[in-house]
Amino acid sequence: MNKAMLTVGIIMLSAMAVLLINIVSDYTTGSELDYYLLKETTEAAMYDAIDEDYYEDNGLLRIDKEKFAENFLLRFAAGIDNSNKTYTIGFYDINETPPKVSVKVDTDTTLSFNQQQQHFSTTIDAILENDYQHDEYVKKVLRDPKSDEGYPITRSSGRKRN
């Protein structure tokens, strides 16, 4: 009888340990996956929202607010898995020039404790910057494809040659 009760106790203890490990890993990996999804989606949506005409005219990066929000929502919706989580997305700051966004994603978990769901928030602030300053020479060359040195500079390269 003693060995039978010990065996039942070990089986119950191992079942509870597996359940606890499953719950903890669901929270940690879910939060980590939400962070990386938010980071990658924000970066891709910012690159998609760059106003290329403004960059060619002024040499400064600028994003379109509406285009960023649309691209972000489409990419985020495509990136989430088919879980029972509830996501709430908030755009707290979108600057067009210089390009800066602050996005917060609130997640409610699938499990509940004492009739309350656990709530996780993930926030990211992203700034899109370039290391290239436009000068008057490059602006002139971009408008006239043939420079006075005799070689063309395309819009995609846009830098002075030494």
**pLDDT tens digit sequence for 41-83:** 999 999 889 888 888 887 778 889 999 999 999 999 888 876 6
Q: Contact at 8 Å (CB) between 123 and 106?
A: no
- pLDDT > 70? residue 134: no
Stretch (H or E) spanning 143: helix 136-143
What is the residue extent of each domain of the chain?
A: 2-143
The single-letter code of the amino acid at 112 is S
Interval 100-110: pLDDT, tens: 999 999 887 66
Q: 97-113 as b/e, with b when 16 or more CB fall inside 10 Å?
A: eebbbbbebebebeeee
* Sequence-ordered alpha helix ranges (H) in 2-98: 2-48, 52-58, 65-79
Locus of tokens 């656990």: 118
